[in-house]
Amino acid sequence: MTDLTTPRHGSHDLVGKINALLPQTQCRRCGYAGCRPYAEAIARGEAGINQCPPGGSHTIERLAGLLGRRPVPLDSRYGAEPLSHTARVIEELCIGCTKCIQACPVDAILGAAKHMHTVLQDLCTGCDLCLLPCPMDCIEMIPAGLNWDQTHADAARARFEARNERLAIPTENAPVAKADPTARLAEIERDSLRRKAEIAAAIARTRNHRNLK
């Protein structure tokens, strides 16, 4: 059962303290658009402290300690506590469409249009948000080679906030609305017609490569 006993009208300071205890994966499994929106919902009494699968029991216990209540089990409606994992690009399938770069909330993917992308695995939070936009299914999740701790969480939060600040700055001669991440993703979707031929050609190359094995 979700615990919603946090007092309403939480202060900005309380939101910051709650957010600091979250894993900063920005995976949205909690039902909110990132760790801070989830922290704000907890402070308002609109969300329980047990909706973060990546944080699991450890995060629940820390939140319970902060808020002066007893820990509760992870709410299974939001998923099970996952094993630590990270994304990896399958190089021979990548067509350089940049969709994964746009989807990554912590700038952990590098690459340029029409060039192979790569994941900086030490920075990847394992959020899985890059999987769905990839038209080639060329991203796989593999076991992470590190233990996600507070140092990693703090660094991920800093990258997430820096990315949002960067996206909020309109480019020269561009409408302010285009700086919104959602609008940027929509713009990428509109480019899909131009890339359709490229993707079709890449699929053909991939099938030919597999047939030659």
Residues 71 and 93 in one domain: no
Which pLDDT value is given to residue 169?
87
Q: What is the pLDDT along the chain (213 residues), one digit of tens a residue?
A: 444 444 444 468 999 999 999 999 999 999 999 999 999 999 999 999 999 999 999 999 999 999 999 999 999 999 999 888 999 999 899 999 999 999 999 999 999 899 999 999 999 999 999 999 999 999 999 999 778 899 999 999 999 999 999 999 876 554 444 445 555 555 545 554 455 555 555 555 555 555 555
| 3-state percent helix, strand, coil for the chain, nearest multiple of 5 | 45, 5, 50
Give the Cα separation of 133 and 98 in Å (integer): 9
Q: Is residue 1 part of a domain?
A: no
Which pLDDT value is given to residue 146?
78
Angle at 192 between CA 109 and CA 132, to 5 degrees: 45
Domain boundary among 59, 78, 97: 78
Which pLDDT value is given to residue 7?
45
Burial class of residue 181 (count of CB atoms within 10 Å of its CB; 0-12, 13-18, 19+): middle
Which pLDDT value is given to residue 27?
96
Give the Cα separation of 14 and 66 in Å (integer): 9
Residues 24 and 92 in one domain: no
Q: What is the CATH number of the domain that holds 63?
A: 1.10.15.40
What residue numbers bound the domain in which 159 lies? 85-212
The pTM (predicted TM-score) of the whole model is: 0.74
Taking residue 172's Cβ as centre, other Cβ atoms within 10 Å add up to: 4
First to last CA, the chain: 52
Q: Is residue 3 part of a domain?
A: no
